[in-house]
């Protein structure tokens, strides 16, 4: 008899999630089964579920009905016969990155560069993504999920499932800062630094030794809360107060920021992003890791003359996941300030509608299937 489990599935774009009974996965080959303890919900989830086919038709979502859920953490219950180094009982975070596993990028550990790269439980990056959705049909909004062993980050006891379910956005920021080059002793401008992604960038910029961390956003109250994380190194600026370039220059002896991370969301202003870009020093680096979309008018000769690097960065490697977990375990990255808002699987629609109602990036939203 086929064992069944409960999972939340979307049956129509923009429709409410339904709690369905679906077959419980079984582990074969290099895959494992994880009992989901909690699954993080990105702040933009409601908008994505309603608008993604219109916003980004070139980035396909799984065929419906589908189990979404991007940031799951839980306990391994079964392992396939080819799995080495993972055992039932292991506490893990499950990265949603799925890839072919055989191309040069995958073999080099750079799975986010694979031509088949897909976000399990969210969206894909090319038309072939459905192939990987068929192989791994379980996002984190269910009691169990099938996952490849390469996607697992083992969790020490000091890192809770709740904190691990935020690794997606923390890792996106961490990987981008590594691509920016050494930041120790330097200046970092984080555009949109009060949101989930931006706050992660602030925490890792602190941990990596940046000495001037400039944070921009609209909400002055949240900005002040961010500044209090380290008043000596963190400086804040409301984008409602005008152009940020003079402010950045005043903090960097007139040079501009060594690097800038744009962490703004999907409906943010491109003009604010451009303002932040123009605040970078000669020879500086710009990293786009947010969801802002659209055509941006920029003087390409300025990029050349000032030797500006513009880098797009998506997610993080599993190895970087292990690095982050160790930084969290030892307290080098302080995650004690997060507020966790938990919802049961039966409350998933209320949870989706309530995402974003908390204190910016200080509030984590999650669904607990068990």
pLDDT at position 262 is: 97
Which pLDDT belongs to residue 186? 97
Q: State whether CATH 3.30.300.30 applies to domain 172-312.
A: no
CATH superfamily of the 4-166+338-368 domain: Medium-chain alcohol dehydrogenases, catalytic domain (3.90.180.10)
What element of type H or E holds 94?
strand 91-94
**pLDDT (0 to 100) of residue 323:** 97
Question: pLDDT tens-digit profile of 102-153?
Answer: 999 999 999 999 999 999 998 888 888 999 999 999 999 999 999 999 999 9
The reported pLDDT for the residue numbered 40 is 94
Q: Which helix (H) or strand (E) holds 267?
A: none
Residue 77: what pLDDT?
Answer: 98
Closest by CA position to 350, among listed 341, 338, 339: 341
Give the chain's residues under pLDDT 50: none
Q: Where are the alpha helices (DSSP H) in the chain?
A: 45-55, 104-107, 129-135, 161-164, 167-179, 196-207, 220-227, 245-251, 270-277, 300-305, 318-329, 348-354
Could you check whether 4-166+338-368 and 172-312 share the same CATH topology? no
Say what the pLDDT of residue 355 is. 80
The pLDDT of residue 16:
92
Residue 121: C-alpha distances to residues 25, 108, 214, 358, 361 (Å): 15, 24, 33, 24, 22
What would the pLDDT profile of 182-201 be if each residue is shown by its tens digit?
Answer: 999 999 999 999 999 999 99
Residue with structure tokens 């961490």? 174
CA distance 92 to 72: 9
As a whole number of angstroms, the distance between CA 315 and CA 318 comes to 10
- Is residue 186 within 8 Å of 128, Cβ to Cβ? no
Q: Which three-class secondary structure state does DSSP give residue 144?
A: strand
**Bridging pattern class, strands 212-217 and 187-191:** parallel
* 8 Å CB contact between 287 and 261: yes
pLDDT number for residue 182: 93
Q: Domain extents for the chain?
A: 4-166+338-368, 172-312
**Predicted TM-score (pTM) of this structure:** 0.94
Cα distance between residue 134 and residue 234, in whole Å? 45
Three-class secondary structure of residue 52 per DSSP: helix
């Amino acid at each position: 008899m086929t064992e069944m489990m409960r999972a939340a599935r979307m049956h129509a774009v923009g429709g409410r999630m339904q709690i369905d009974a679906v077959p419980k996965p079984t582990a074969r080959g290099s895959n494992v089964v994880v009992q989901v303890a909690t699954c993080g919900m990105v702040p933009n989830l409601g908008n994505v579920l309603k608008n993604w086919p219109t916003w980004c038709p070139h980035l396909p979502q799984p065929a419906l009905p589908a189990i979404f859920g991007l940031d799951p953490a839980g306990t391994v219950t079964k392992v396939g016969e080819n799995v080495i180094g993972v055992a039932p009982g292991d506490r893990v975070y499950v990265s949603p990155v799925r890839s072919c596993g055989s191309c040069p990028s995958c073999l080099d550990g750079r799975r986010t560069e694979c031509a088949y790269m897909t976000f399990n439980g969210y969206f894909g990056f090319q038309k072939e993504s459905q192939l990987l959705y068929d192989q791994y049909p379980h996002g984190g909004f269910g009691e169990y999920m099938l996952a490849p062993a390469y996607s697992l980050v083992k969790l020490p006891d000091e890192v809770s499932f709740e904190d691990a379910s935020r690794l997606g956005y923390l890792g996106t920021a961490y990987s981008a800062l590594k691509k920016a080059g050494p930041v120790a002793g330097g200046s970092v401008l984080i555009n949109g630094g009060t949101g989930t992604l931006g706050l992660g960038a602030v925490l890792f910029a602190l941990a990596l030794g940046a000495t001037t961390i400039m944070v921009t956003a609209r909400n002055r109250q949240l900005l002040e809360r961010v500044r209090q994380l380290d008043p000596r190194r963190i400086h804040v600026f409301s984008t409602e107060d005008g152009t940020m370039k003079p402010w950045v220059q005043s903090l960097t002896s007139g040079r501009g920021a060594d690097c800038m991370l744009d962490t703004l969301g999907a409906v943010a202003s491109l003009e604010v992003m451009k303002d932040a870009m123009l605040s970078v020093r000669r020879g500086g680096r710009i990293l786009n890791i947010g969801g802002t979309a659209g055509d941006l008018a920029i003087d390409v000769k300025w990029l050349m003359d000032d030797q500006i690097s513009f880098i797009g960065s998506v997610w993080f490697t599993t190895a970087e996941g292990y690095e982050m977990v160790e930084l969290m375990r030892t307290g080098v990255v302080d995650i004690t300030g997060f507020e966790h808002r938990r919802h049961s699987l039966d409350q998933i629609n209320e949870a989706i509608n309530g995402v974003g109602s908390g204190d910016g990036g200080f509030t984590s939203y999650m669904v607990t299937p068990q």
